[in-house]
Amino acid sequence: KAGVTQTPRYLIKTRGQQVTLSCSPISGHRSVSWYQQTPGQGLQFLFEYFSETQRNKGNFPGRFSGRQFSNSRSEMNVSTLELGDSALYLCASSFLTGIGNEQFFGPGTRLTVL
């Protein structure tokens, strides 16, 4: 069974640009969550989607947005990039939503903002 895949793996952007990251969950998984990981703040929750609906959102500015498609694939978008957005962005999928459903993480997209 293929794992969670994320594209691209590495990305370099400049301040003010926007970026779209993609996540393909494990086949059959309907819940997709996005996280930002930085050395200073650790792993922080961005948002969670289940059956194309955003179920939960973390404490991030409106520049961060996401969506989920009918095939459960998900994208997240960051507009007007800032230097502080440099981070590893992780996507995780689970069969259903809720703590009791194990999340499987992808390898992440390393975003560098110059």
Partner 1 sequence: QKEVEQDPGPLSVPEGAIVSLNCTYSNSAFQYFMWYRQYSRKGPELLMYTYSSGNKEDGRFTAQVDKSSKYISLFIRDSQPSDSATYLCAMSDYGGSQGNLIFGKGTKLSVKP
- Kindly list the residues in this chain that would bind partner 1 in the complex (CB under 8 A): 4, 31, 33, 39, 41-45, 47-48, 55-58, 90, 92, 94, 97-108
Judged by beta carbon, residue 28 or residue 40, the one nearer partner 1 is 40
Closer to partner 1 by Cβ: residue 59 or 70:
59
SS3 content of the chain, % helix, strand, coil (to 5): 5, 55, 45
Count other Cβ atoms within 10 Å, centred on residue 7: 12
Name 23's Cβ contacts closer than 8 Å, sequence gap at least 6.
4, 5, 6, 32, 34, 73, 74, 75, 76, 91, 93, 106
Closest contact distance (angstroms) between CB of 46 and partner 1 is 9
Closer Cβ to partner 1, 60 or 79, answer by number: 60
Closest distance to partner 1 from the beta carbon of 16 (Å) = 28
